[in-house]
Structure 1
Amino acid sequence: MRRHLLFLSLVISVSAAAAAAVASSAYEVLRSHGLPIGLLPKGVREFYIDDAGQFVAVLEASCTAKFESEVRYNASVSGTISPGQIAGLSGVAAQDLFLWFPVRAIRLDDPSSGIIHFDVGVVDKRYPLSLFEIPPDCSPVSAFVNAHLEGSRIAALVAESQSGELRYQLDQLHAQDAVL
């Protein structure tokens, strides 16, 4: 029994140390590319990177962090990191005027400017670099929010398909009227 407890405590210690090493390696990679470590939130469980700079960071769950605005992280964040930038980013969205925009890239042109750029497609969002000095706490995205977003998507698709079906039926009626 005593051996089992000793073994169990060793496994728990090794697991905790491995999780800390994974998180620190993710933040070390950001730092080594001249980027602030706060671009990834607390709670990185797994981190993989290849020689080309393509990476995947696996979080405990989807979550939201608060900076000047809210930033949502999926449970998996990926992209290609190079000095001063992350390109091909997926799994991150920034909120602006109650809308969520996917962040496609992040770049730091000049560290002395104190500004970091988020490419959200439509606009180039600028944030003070100081906001990203430490990894932020990240609140889990509630099941209600996920269900609401999924429900909204389904409702839009159903409405679109119903209006398409209605248009088809009306077109058929007009075609019959034209023949008669």
Structure 2
Amino acid sequence: MLPYLRSRSSLPLLLLFLNCLCFRSAVGGESPTAYEVLGSYDLPIGLLPKGAIGYDLDASTGAFAAYLNGSCSFSLEGSYQLRYSPTISGRIASDRLSDLRGVSVKVLFFWVNIIDVRRLGDSLRFSVGVASADFAINNFYMCPRCGCGLNCPDDDDVAAGFNLRMR
């Protein structure tokens, strides 16, 4: 018999200890949401529309993918039309999303991909490659909804404080 299991009185103690470890990992094993992950990188939750159903993240490289229930589009304050693919991917780091795929904005008559989002203090810089625009970060404290953005009929009180303006 193994030396550490010679005493039968130590076996219940060992089983109790293992049981506590398993229970603790089961309770503490909940993964953060995609929105909480954004927050942990000092990025606002409103970069993703409501209803993200999951995500993958390789914390060592920053490679990520966030999943929506389907494609999603909406207008913000009647000025910018945004479109999200069912899968949004790229790299995440503190204050930055780069190599972004799956998010586009309509500029005049054309859809262009947003490839980089960078937090610069109290603003966010969105880059489409050859051009970029800065917006106040407080425009992104709330998650827009597919179809209606921040102007949803049942969200009037929430959207009232938003005024999307370039900085």
TM-score band by shorter chain is: 0.5 to 0.7
1:101-120 matches, within 5 Å, as 101-111=112-122, 115-120=123-128
Percent of paired sites with the same residue? 35
Aligned residue for 2:72? Answer: 63
CA–CA distance in 1 between the matches of 2:120 and 2:145? 26
Please state how far the C-alpha of 1:116 moved relative to its aligned partner: 0.9
**TM-score using structure 2 length:** 0.64
The alignment's TM-score, normalised by the length of structure 1, stands at 0.60
Cross-structure match for 1:126: 134
Larger Rg computed on CA atoms: 1
- How far apart, in 2, do the equivalents of 1:91 and 1:97 lie? 19
- Does the CA-based 8 Å contact 1:41-1:65 persist in structure 2? no
Q: CA deviation at 1:130?
A: 1.9
Distance of 1:62 and 1:38 partners within structure 2: 17
Answering whether residue 62 of structure 2 is matched by residue 53 of structure 1, we say: yes
1:3-49 Cα offsets, whole Å, 9 max, x none, are xxxxxxxxxxxxxxxxxx77x61001111111110000011112110
Aligned residues: 116
Once superposed, which parts of structure 1, at least 4 consecutive aligned residues long, lie more than 3 Å away? none
* Residue 129 of structure 1, CA deviation: 1.5
Q: 1:94 Cα shift?
A: 1.0
The CA RMSD over aligned residues, in Å, is 1.8
Q: Which runs of 5+ in 1 are unaligned?
A: 1-20, 141-180
Whether the aligned pair in 1 keeps the contact of 2:33 and 2:54 (CA below 8 Å) is: no
Counterpart pick for 2:105 among 82, 85, 94? 94
Whole-Å separation in 2 of the counterparts to 1:69 and 1:128: 15
